[in-house]
Amino acid sequence: MELLQTILITIATLAILVTIHEYGHFWVARRCGIKVIRFSVGFGKALYRWHDKQGTEYVIAAIPLGGYVKMVDEREGNVAEEDLPYAFNRKPVSQRLATVAAGPLANFILAIFVYWCVFVGGVTGVIPVVGSIEPGSIAEQASLEPGQQIIAVDGEATPTMEALHLRLLQRIGESGPITFAVKYPDSDLTYESTAQLDEWLAGDDAVNLIGGLGIELYRPPVLAIVDQVIADSPAEQAGLLTGDKVISADDISIADWQAWVEYVRDRPGQAISLVYERDNSQFSTILTPATKYDENNQPYGQVGVSVQWPEWPEEMKRSFSYGVFGAVGQALDRTWSMSVFTLQSIKKMLMGLISPKNLSGPITIAKVASASANSGLEAYLGFLALLSVSLGVLNLLPIPVLDGGHILYFLVEMITGKEVSLRIQMLGYQLGLFIIVGVMILALYNDISRL
C-alpha cells in the first residue's frame, strides 16, 4: 500500500510540473500563430487522447517522466502548403524565443503561486536552539553555547529551523568568516560571534548542515512510547497497544526510544521480560523480537512498533502570516532565492565543492514527494514549488536539447542576423544529449546506491 501511494503521489507531482511547463510552450505558441500538432503529458504509448477544434491532439502517455509540445516545423518533415504560415521555423526569432522560454517561465509562475498559497495560509516552524556543542567544532570556535537560540547567520534572520537550513545550504563548499547572532530564549540581549570556514563540507557525500557546525539542536526527548503496533507482530502477540510506555526490559531501565530500539536490535529471537505503563498502571509481559537481517546479512531484532513523537513546547513554535498582498513579496523572494541557490549548487558541483553523489534522480524524488505529502499539505506544497523552481532553472541552462540551448541559438541569431547552421545545431544537440543522459545515469546510480 505504501509503495502504491508513493507511485501515485510521484505521478501526480510530475504530471503537475510537466503539464504546467508544456502549457507555457503551448499557450505562447498559440498566441504567436504557431500551429500545435500535439500536446503530450508523458512519453510512449498513448493511454488517452482527444482533439480540439483547431486540430491539436492532446495525449496522456504511459511513461510519466516528461512531456512535449509538437508544433508544425519544416525541419521535422514535410509541411502542407496551407500550414506553412503557421510553422515554428517561419516565425520571427523573437516569437520562437518567447515560445521556448515560456516553459521554464511557467514553472517559475507555478512556484510563485504555490509559495503564495503557503504564505497566505500562514507558515509554522520551530526556533533553532542549541542542544549541545561538539568540542573543537566551528560552533565552539564561535563560542556558541547550549540553550542559545540562533537568530541570524551572516546577517540573515533564521527564525525557524527551516530558515537556518536554507541559509547554511548557501555556505556549502565556501571558505571565509561565518557570523552567528544568538540570544537566550528568556533574554532580549543579542550576541554576535564569528568562526572561519574552510571549504566547509566540500565533497561530502552525505551533507549534515547542523552537524557540520558541530551543533546538535535541541529536540524534545523521544520517550519509549508506542504509537502504532503492526498486525501479527511480536509486539501485538505480547499485548502491547498504542500509548504504552516501556519502563524496563529484563530489569534494565529504558530511558528513551533510542535505548529501547538498541536493546531490541541486539536480541533477535531472545525473550525479553518487559515492564510497561498503561493508564498510569504498570504491567509485565514476555516479548520475543523477530529475527531480521541487514544488508551485511547480520541478524537484528524487530518487534513491530513505531514511536509516538513528542510535541514541541509551545514556546518554541513560531507562526507567520503575511496576508494576501504580503504573501506576494514573500513568494517572489523565496522563488528568487531558491533559483539562485540552484545555480550556485550547480556551480559548486562543477568546481568540485559539492559531491556529485548528492545528485538525485526519480527514486529519491518519489521518496521525498511521498514523505512530504505524509507530513502535511504545507510540506508537500513547499516541495512542489522547489521542484518547479529546479525544473525552470535547469531548463534554462545553455545546453542544447534543453530550452536554454534553443534560447542560446536564438540569441546568436538575433545578434548575427542569421540562423545558426543546422550542422552546428545538430552537433550541439548530440553533445547536449550526451551530457543530459550522463547526468541522468549518475543520478539514477546515486538513487540505487542510497537504497
Quick: pLDDT tens for 79-100. 888 989 999 999 999 999 999 9
- Same structural domain for residues 212 and 243? no
Q: Each residue of 270-294: pLDDT tens digit?
A: 999 999 999 999 999 999 999 999 8
Considering 22, 76, 277, 311, which one is annotated as catalytic?
22
Q: What is the pLDDT of residues 384-431, one digit of tens each?
A: 999 999 999 999 999 988 999 999 999 999 999 898 888 898 899 899
441 found inside a domain: no
Same domain, 247 and 299: yes
Residue 314: half-sphere exposure toward Cβ, Cα within 13 Å: 0
Q: Is residue 257 in a domain?
A: yes
Catalytic: 192? no
Are 209 and 234 within one domain?
Answer: no
Instruction: Tell whether 287 and 262 lie within a shared domain.
Output: yes
Q: What is the mean pLDDT of residues 63-69?
A: 88
CATH number (domain holding residue 300): 2.30.42.10
Is residue 279 domain-shared with residue 255, that is, in the same domain? yes
The last residue of one of the domains, among 246, 279, 307, is: 307
Q: 246 in a domain, yes or no?
A: yes
Task: Find the domain containing 168 and state its range.
Answer: 125-220+315-320
Q: What is the pLDDT of residue 449?
A: 77
- How many folded domains does the chain comprise? 2
274 located within any domain: yes
Residue 128 sits at φ, ψ, to 5 deg, of: -85, 110
Q: Which one of 320, 342, 369 terminates a domain? A: 320
Give domain status of residue 145, yes or no: yes
212 and 130 co-located in one domain: yes
Assess whether 211 and 234 both reside in one domain. Answer: no
Distant-in-sequence contacts of 415-423, Cβ < 8 A, 24+ apart: 419/93, 422/75
Query: If you average pLDDT over residues 300-326, what whole number do you get?
Result: 91
Buried residues in 400-436 as b, exposed as e (16+ CB within 10 A):
bbbbbbbbbbbeeeeeeeeeeeeeebeebeeebeeeb
pLDDT the model gives residue 283: 95
How many whole angstroms separate alpha carbon 402 and alpha carbon 303?
Answer: 50
Q: What pLDDT does 451 receive?
A: 64
Task: For residue range 205-217, list pLDDT tens digits in order.
Answer: 777 889 999 999 9
Do the domain assignments include residue 166? yes
SS3 227: strand
Give the alpha-carbon dihedral of 21, 22, 25, 28, to 10 degrees. Answer: -90
Same domain? For 149 and 213 the reply is yes
Are 230 and 213 found together in one domain? Answer: no
382: helix, strand or coil: helix
450 within domain boundaries: no
Q: Between residues 162 and 447, which one has the greater pLDDT?
A: 162
10: confidence class by pLDDT, cuts 50, 70, 90? confident
Structural Rg of the chain based on CA atoms: 27
- In this predicted structure, the answer to whether residue 383 has a pLDDT above a threshold of 70 is yes
Domain end among 258, 286, 307:
307
Q: Are the C-beta atoms of 322 and 119 separated by less than 8 Å?
A: yes
From CA 389, how far away is CA 225, in angstroms rounded? 40
Taking the C-alpha atoms of residue 210 and residue 351, their distance in angstroms, rounded to an integer, is 23
CB 73 within 8 A of CB 60: no
Same domain, 131 and 215: yes
Kindly state whether residues 132 and 208 are assigned to the same domain. Answer: yes
The predicted pLDDT at position 294 comes to 86
Q: Which residue, chain included where needed, has cell 537556518?
A: 164
Does 188 reside within a domain?
yes
Residues 185 and 209 placed together within one structural domain of the fold: yes
